[in-house]
Amino acid sequence: MPNNTNLTEADILRLLDEYFKSGYSLAEFCTIEDLDEPTVQSWVEKFYPDLADDGLMEVNVNPNIRDEPKKPGPKKQPALFAKIGDIELYHQVPAAYLRSLKG
């Protein structure tokens, strides 16, 4: 693989096409292709800004699923809704809140 600085725009677009079709994460693809991850991320942001990864994932909530009625007894820890790294969420939060944690 040529050095990142020697790549033409056509080479970059070909690599990005391979990345999108590969199913690999950005880190995995960069390891396999011996590429610099921040450089490839900047290519994605430049050539495919709509596909740039902001670190967030879409979550769909089914409003038809309801919690069971509360039963008397000892208070339980609420069910874990999502875990992102070291952050544990116990209910749905707005995307803006998650973005603020990233900053």
- pTM assigned to the model: 0.48
Beta bridge partners of 84: 87
Report the pLDDT value the prediction gives residue 33, as an integer from 0 to 100.
92
Report the pLDDT value the prediction gives residue 36, as an integer from 0 to 100.
92
Return the domain boundaries, the chain.
4-51, 76-103
pLDDT in tens, the chain (103 residues): 445 668 899 999 999 999 889 988 889 999 999 999 999 989 988 988 877 666 667 777 777 777 666 667 666 677 877 777 777 777 777 777 767 766 5
Q: What is the 3-state secondary structure (H, E, C) of 8-27?
A: CHHHHHHHHHHHHHHCCCHH
